[in-house]
């Protein structure tokens, strides 16, 4: 059944390869209504995607044949969908309403989730009101959040999106092991009023622990040991390691929370404190609304499913190996970086669940910049380069105050229109009327846009906690659906591990003062140069 669905998918893609997107609106009068959907406060327009009606139907059949609906039930049912590590994947449980009954491999987890969420809110209010103080009795006015990957990207995106122009608490993030990152974060801060939150699932991550040691040393220069641990908070699935490190208090999350899906947990404690528990509750509510939509909506009107099918269609049907994401809102400027980890770490896999090599492309390369900045950088390539790069535009009606930001979203709409319509050589020649004919012929080729390049547009009214929560949950479920269709495990990341292991070995060589005999000639020569 799956093979037949893939065969039909390939045949539909071959038929649609030369079809013009713009022509489909006349050929299929219902296209706009069928290819737009509202979900959890977001409006999605996929009508500028490269499929015909028959192509979209082939995609839907592929989703059914590969078991998207049953896999969705297993995810929300707490089954071991991360089968290489034998774990449930239950980030939806983290944003469920209080009193829910989620279970991970049969074990009830919702009571624990509710307990940690209340503890986070209580601690956040204590810090915000000055009831929780540092070693010298002064209230905390700054937070340094230390983490990397999923322990950094999600909370950093949330803070950038939702922070007030004049925040009551100065929240700074440190991820890079380069000492410059920590130096910049600590500059201008007072140790007496600074809270350090160390986020690490295992509390063994090299970059995070190195930065945490630097922060500990910085605090020790100014604060006596008594009470110093009140400045150090651990967020981890290994609380005993955090306590041994010197954290005065820990907030836990479990191993059924994947790092890149963990912003809904205590991983975002720094944001709960700096934004307030109410804002975090709104973030969870928006994600929960998208969860409800994903679980209940038919596949043909299901926003995450439609987004996933568009990507599979472009990648596997039409051979497009990259996708750009352009958020037309300064507050969402880190969305492309967040999606790079979410999608490429989840679905950048080379084998199926049973270990067989994949026969098709899996995750495309994801890149982007906020609009309109990207228009003056890489948009030239996506308009006129030989490789077709599908685009995603996230458009916000009001990004600041009550005024509609027409100049901002007019640019976004224009980009989608230009990608689809393009400009013919004949139209370019008309623009060159009055120019010598031979010169007009020469220049017209440079001013021609092939068009027929697909895009999706996501619209939200404002960058609210609810809208941000819905947007991030939309992409989480999209990524999951793609993994189901490709028959890969979206929830492990073994590709991250090899470099970590080799880095430890190279550090041992540095400490020994000489490259080891096992190093390849290139790496040995580079190490020798760097150690001089």
Q: Please tell me whether residues 461 and 322 are part of one structural domain.
A: yes
Q: Indicate if 166 belongs to the active site.
A: no
In a domain, 229, yes or no: yes
Cβ pair 45, 35 in contact under 8 A: yes
Q: Indicate if 345 belongs to the active site.
A: yes
CA-wise closest residue to 245 among 273, 271, 268, 214: 214
Q: What is the 3-state secondary structure (H, E, C) of 353-422?
A: CCCCECCCCCCCEEECCCCCHHHHCCHHHHHHCCCCCCEEEEEEEECCCCCCCHHHHHHHHHHHHHHHHC
pLDDT tens track for 241-262:
999 999 999 999 888 998 999 9
Q: Indicate if 192 belongs to the active site.
A: no
Stretch 315-335: mean pLDDT, rounded?
Answer: 97
Q: Please tell me whether residues 338 and 467 are part of one structural domain.
A: yes
Q: Please tell me whether residues 125 and 247 are part of one structural domain.
A: yes
Range of the domain at 156: 91-282
Give the CATH number, domain containing residue 126.
3.40.50.10490
- Mean of per-residue pLDDT scores for the chain: 96
- pLDDT at 162 (0 to 100): 97
pLDDT tens track for 139-160:
999 999 999 999 999 999 999 9
Cα 501-506-507 angle, rounded to 5 deg: 95
Cβ pair 9, 44 in contact under 8 A: no
Domain boundary among 217, 248, 282: 282
In a domain, 40, yes or no: yes
What percent of the chain stands above pLDDT 70?
100
Stretch 452-457: mean pLDDT, rounded?
Answer: 98
Q: Please tell me whether residues 168 and 302 are part of one structural domain.
A: no
Alpha helices in 233-326, H assignment, sequence order: 239-245, 269-275, 277-296, 303-312
Which listed residue (107, 138, 240, 376) is catalytic?
A: 376
Decide if pLDDT at 388 tops 80: yes
Strand, helix or coil for residue 234: strand
Decide if pLDDT at 513 tops 80: yes
Ramachandran angles phi, psi of 258, nearest 5°: -70, 145
Stretch 338-365: mean pLDDT, rounded?
Answer: 96
Which listed residue (345, 392, 466, 476) is catalytic?
A: 345
In a domain, 86, yes or no: no
Q: How confident is the model at residue 518 (pLDDT cuts 50, 70, 90)?
A: confident
Q: Please tell me whether residues 98 and 226 are part of one structural domain.
A: yes
CA distances from 299 to 69, 265, 481 (A): 8, 29, 11
Q: Please tell me whether residues 174 and 308 are part of one structural domain.
A: no
pLDDT tens track for 43-53:
999 999 999 99
- pLDDT at 82 (0 to 100): 96
Number of domains within the chain: 3
Strand, helix or coil for residue 136: coil
- pLDDT at 496 (0 to 100): 87
Which listed residue (107, 184, 500, 504) is catalytic?
A: 500
Cβ pair 72, 482 in contact under 8 A: no
Cβ pair 265, 201 in contact under 8 A: no
pLDDT tens track for 403-424:
778 899 999 999 999 999 999 9
In a domain, 136, yes or no: yes
User: At what angle are helices 277-296 and 153-162 packed, to 10 degrees?
Assistant: 110
Rounded distance between C-alpha atoms, residue 155 and residue 260, angstroms: 11
Cβ pair 419, 21 in contact under 8 A: no
- pLDDT at 517 (0 to 100): 86
- pLDDT at 79 (0 to 100): 97
Give the N- to C-terminal CA distance of the chain in Å, as an integer. 61
pLDDT tens track for 187-221:
999 999 999 999 998 898 889 999 999 999 999 99
Decide if pLDDT at 316 tops 90: yes
pLDDT tens track for 69-116:
999 999 999 999 999 999 999 999 999 999 999 999 999 999 999 999
Cβ pair 274, 159 in contact under 8 A: yes
Stretch 471-500: mean pLDDT, rounded?
Answer: 95
Give me 88's structure tokens.
Answer: 């449930």
Ramachandran angles phi, psi of 232, nearest 5°: -120, 120
């Amino acid at each position: 059944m799956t093979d037949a669905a893939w065969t039909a998918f390939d045949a539909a893609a071959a038929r649609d390869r030369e079809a013009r997107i713009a022509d489909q609106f006349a050929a299929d009068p219902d296209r706009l209504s069928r290819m737009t959907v509202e979900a959890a406060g977001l409006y999605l327009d996929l009508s500028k995607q490269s499929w015909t009606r028959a192509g979209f139907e082939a995609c839907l059949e592929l989703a059914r044949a590969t078991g998207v609906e049953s896999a969705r039930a297993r995810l929300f049912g707490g089954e071991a969908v991360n089968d290489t590590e034998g774990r449930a994947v239950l980030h939806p449980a983290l944003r469920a309403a209080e009193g829910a009954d989620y279970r991970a491999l049969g074990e009830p987890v919702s009571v624990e989730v509710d307990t940690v969420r209340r503890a986070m809110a209580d601690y956040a209010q204590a810090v915000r009101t000055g009831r929780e103080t540092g070693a010298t009795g002064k209230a905390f006015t700054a937070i340094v959040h230390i983490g990397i990957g999923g322990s950094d990207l999600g909370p950093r995106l949330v803070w950038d999106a939702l922070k007030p122009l004049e925040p009551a608490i100065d929240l700074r993030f440190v991820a890079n092991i380069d000492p410059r990152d920590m130096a910049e974060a600590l500059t201008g801060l007072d140790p007496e009023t600074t809270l350090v939150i160390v986020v690490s699932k295992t509390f063994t991550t090299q970059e995070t622990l190195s930065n945490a040691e630097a922060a500990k040393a910085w605090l020790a220069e100014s604060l006596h040991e008594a009470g110093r641990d009140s400045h150090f908070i651990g967020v981890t699935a290994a609380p005993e390691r955090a306590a041994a490190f010197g954290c005065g208090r820990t907030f836990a999350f479990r191993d059924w929370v994947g790092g890149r899906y963990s912003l809904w947990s205590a991983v975002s404690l720094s944001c709960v404190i700096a934004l307030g528990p109410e804002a975090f509750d709104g973030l969870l509510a928006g994600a929960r609304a998208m969860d409800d939509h994903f679980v209940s909506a038919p596949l043909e009107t299901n926003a995450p499913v439609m987004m996933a099918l568009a990507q599979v269609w472009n990648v596997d049907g039409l051979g497009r190996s990259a996708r750009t994401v352009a958020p037309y809102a300064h507050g969402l400027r880190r969305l492309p970086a967040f999606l790079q980890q979410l999608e490429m770490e989840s679905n950048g896999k080379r084998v199926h669940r049973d270990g067989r090599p994949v026969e098709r492309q899996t995750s495309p390369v994801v890149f982007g910049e906020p609009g309109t900045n990207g228009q003056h950088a890489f948009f030239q390539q996506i308009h006129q380069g030989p490789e077709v790069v599908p685009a995603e535009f996230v458009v916000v009606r009001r990004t600041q105050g009550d005024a509609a930001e027409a100049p901002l979203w007019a640019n976004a709409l224009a980009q989608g229109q230009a990608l689809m319509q393009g400009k013919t050589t004949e139209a370019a020649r008309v623009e060159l009327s009055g120019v010598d004919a031979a010169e007009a012929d020469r220049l017209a080729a440079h001013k021609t846009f092939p068009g027929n390049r697909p895009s999706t547009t996501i619209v939200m009214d404002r960058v609210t906690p609810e809208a941000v929560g819905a947007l991030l949950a939309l992409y989480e479920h999209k990524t999951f659906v793609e993994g189901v269709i490709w028959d890969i495990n979206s929830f492990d990341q073994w590709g991250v591990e090899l470099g970590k292991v080799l880095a430890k070995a190279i550090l041992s060589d540095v400490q020994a003062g000489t490259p080891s005999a096992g190093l390849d000639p290139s790496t040995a020569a580079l190490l020798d140069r760097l150690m001089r």
